[in-house]
Every structure is written in C-alpha cells, then in structure tokens.
C-alpha cells in the first residue's frame, strides 16, 4: 500500500503529504490579507502622502510647485525645529532613566513577596496609565496653578512663596513629572511580567550559595529581564520624541514659556493647523520620525549586543 502511495505522490512532495492546489496556497493570504489592507491604509498610505507633500510648496502666488528637497534643507537650518528637538532630547535623557528606575524598583518590590498588600499596590501604581493623557495634563495643570490650584493653596498654608512649576525654570520638569506619573505603572507591569517568568530554581541555587537579596537582584533578576528593559527603553524613547499632549494642554497656563515650537510635534501641528504650511509640516514630521527611528535602533542594537554578551 505504501508503495502505491509513493508512486502516486507528485514530485517534490513528501510521501503522504496532502496535495497543495491553488486554493491551499491562497489560504495563508486570506488570513493576513485583512491586516495587510488595514496596515497599508492607516500606516503606509499616510507616510507615502506625507512624503509626497514634503516635495511641494503651496504659495498664495504661484500655487503648488514642486521644490524637491528644499523643504528638508529648510528644516535642517530651522532653529525652532532644532530647539524643540534639543528640548525633547534633554527630556529623554533625564526623565526616561528616572521613570524606568522607579518602575524597576516597584516591580522588584512587588516580586520580592515581602510587600504588604501587593495586589492593591500593583493596581494602584498601574491606575494612572488608565487615565487619558489629556485628562492627566488638565488635572496636573490645575494642581500646578499658583492662583487657583493645589500649589497656590500650599503656598497660602505655609505662608511662603514656592518655586512656580509653570515658570521658565521648572516647566520641563513639571511636564516630566506628569509623564512619569502616567507611565510608571505601564513600565512596572512590563518588568513585573518579565520577573514572573524567571525560573525559581535560580533563586533556590542562589539561596544555597548564601547570596543576599541585593546579590540576587544584581546577578539574577536584572540580567534575566534585560530584554524587557530594552523594550521599555525603546517605547519610552519613542514616547519622549512624540511629546505633544502635555505641553499642548499646559500651553494655555504658561503661554510665555510653552511656545508653538516647544516640541517638534507641537511645531508640526502649529505649522499645519495654524500656519497652513502643510508641506513644511509634513517635512518636519518625516525628519522627526527618521530621527526617532535612528535613536531607537541604536538603543536596540546596543541592548541586543549586551544581551548576547558581546
């Protein structure tokens, strides 16, 4: 019987394998087709249209004209764009390590099993992430208010003038505080989930060897979740370069310190919807996207090398 099956099997097909006709070959595409269609419509098409817009310039006199890479050359020498980029880069270098450090400490504390009310504490830390970014910015903006908010009430209670969180010196730190409050719980959940899959046998071996808690953390837990640390760092870098909601909401409370070019995304938004410079706005958005991809790729590459021990 097996000889008959082998004789009837088509060339190149293993014995007993089902015949693969045109219908079977298209089955996989039927599964991925809807996703590919949506992906092309909501992701690839806007990028392609932005690239198209960035190659033109619309003027009152002369209409829309093809200018090639002139918009990119203009952006490269635009001080407003680079000031905004420098500001979010500083924000990234300061806020991201603080936020991830707090999230890691909280995750380690919950994973240790020595924290009283662990489940309630975990939910409480994660709860701010469920608050929409606009609502969070409005809430913190009210608390920062020196005339009507919590900060003003605190000044009245102690009878002294406190540094204005919406002033020129502390406005970026105030925004960083809002973002940290929002996303500590999200990153904590990433780290905690990674810690839960670390084999307990490693902890038992370390306990037999007499390793203390700090040694277990530094030699076992942190190296074991290095991949999660890299992922959280990349997400945080992308989020920092996309900073928009918080400065946009606080702009009405501190108009003298948060300009329309405070961040690159806010600058692109203002160019498009206030200045009607859609072509240049698309150029700024594309350049910012490329810079974000570059920084995220470098961080991912370094993280992968460290994970591989190179």
Domains of the chain by residue range: 2-54, 75-307
Neighbours of 251 (CB within 10 A): 17
Q: Tell which phi-psi region holds residue 62, choosing left (phi > 0), alpha (psi between -120 and 50) or beta.
A: left
Mention every residue, 6+ apart, whose C-beta is less than 8 A from residue 283.
53, 54, 71, 72, 74, 75
Q: Are 129 and 183 in contact (CB under 8 A)?
A: yes
Mention every residue, 6+ apart, whose C-beta is less than 8 A from residue 85.
264, 288, 291
Query: Measuring CA to CA, which residue among 249, 237, 284, 290 is closest to residue 264?
Result: 284
Phi and psi at residue 25, to the nearest 5°: -70, -30
Q: What is the pTM of this model?
A: 0.83
Q: What is the tens place of the pLDDT at every residue in 242-298?
A: 999 999 999 988 888 999 999 999 999 999 888 788 999 999 999 999 999 999 898
Q: What is the tens place of the pLDDT at every residue in 10-47?
A: 555 555 555 555 666 777 788 888 899 999 999 899 99
Q: How far apart are CA 250 and CA 258, in angstroms?
A: 8
Q: What is the tens place of the pLDDT at every residue in 94-137?
A: 999 999 999 999 999 998 877 787 888 889 999 999 999 899 99
Burial 197-234 (b: 16+ CB within 10 A, else e): eeeeeeeeebeeeebeeeebbeebbeeebeebbbbbbb
pLDDT, mean of residues 209-234: 87
Check whether 227 has a pLDDT greater than 80: yes
Query: Measuring CA to CA, which residue among 181, 115, 111 is closest to residue 144?
Result: 181
Q: Are 254 and 175 in contact (CB under 8 A)?
A: no
Q: How far apart are CA 200 and CA 221, in angstroms?
A: 11
Domain 75-307: give its CATH code.
Answer: 1.10.3720.10
Q: How far apart are CA 209 and CA 277, in angstroms?
A: 66
């Amino acid at each position: 019987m097996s000889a008959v099956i082998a004789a009837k099997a088509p060339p190149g097909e293993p014995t007993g394998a089902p015949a693969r006709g045109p219908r079977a070959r298209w089955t996989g595409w039927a599964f991925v087709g809807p996703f590919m269609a949506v992906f092309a419509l909501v992701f690839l098409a806007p990028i392609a249209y932005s690239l198209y817009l960035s190659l033109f310039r619309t003027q009152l006199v002369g209409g829309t004209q093809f200018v090639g890479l002139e918009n990119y050359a203009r952006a490269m020498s635009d001080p407003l764009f680079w000031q905004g980029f420098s500001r979010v880069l500083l924000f990234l270098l300061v806020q991201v390590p603080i936020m991830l450090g707090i999230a890691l400490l909280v995750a380690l504390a919950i994973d240790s099993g020595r924290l009283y009310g662990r489940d309630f504490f975990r939910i409480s830390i994660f709860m701010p992430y469920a608050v929409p970014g606009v609502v969070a910015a409005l809430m913190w903006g009210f608390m920062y208010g020196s005339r009507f908010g919590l900060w003003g009430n605190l000044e009245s209670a102690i009878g002294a003038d406190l540094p204005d969180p919406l002033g020129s010196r502390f406005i970026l730190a105030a925004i960083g505080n809002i973002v940290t409050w929002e996303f500590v719980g999200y990153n904590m959940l990433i780290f905690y989930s990674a810690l839960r899959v670390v084999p307990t046998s490693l902890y038992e071996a370390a306990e037999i060897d007499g390793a203390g808690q700090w040694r277990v953390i530094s030699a076992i837990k942190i190296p074991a979740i290095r991949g999660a640390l890299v992922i959280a760092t990349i997400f945080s870098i992308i989020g920092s370069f996309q900073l928009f909601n918080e400065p946009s909401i606080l702009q009405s409370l501190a108009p003298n310190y948060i300009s329309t070019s405070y961040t690159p995304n806010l600058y692109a938004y203002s160019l498009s919807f206030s200045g009607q410079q859609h072509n240049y706005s698309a150029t700024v958005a594309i350049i910012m996207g490329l810079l974000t991809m570059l920084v995220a790729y470098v961080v991912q590459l370094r993280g992968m090398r460290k994970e591989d021990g190179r």
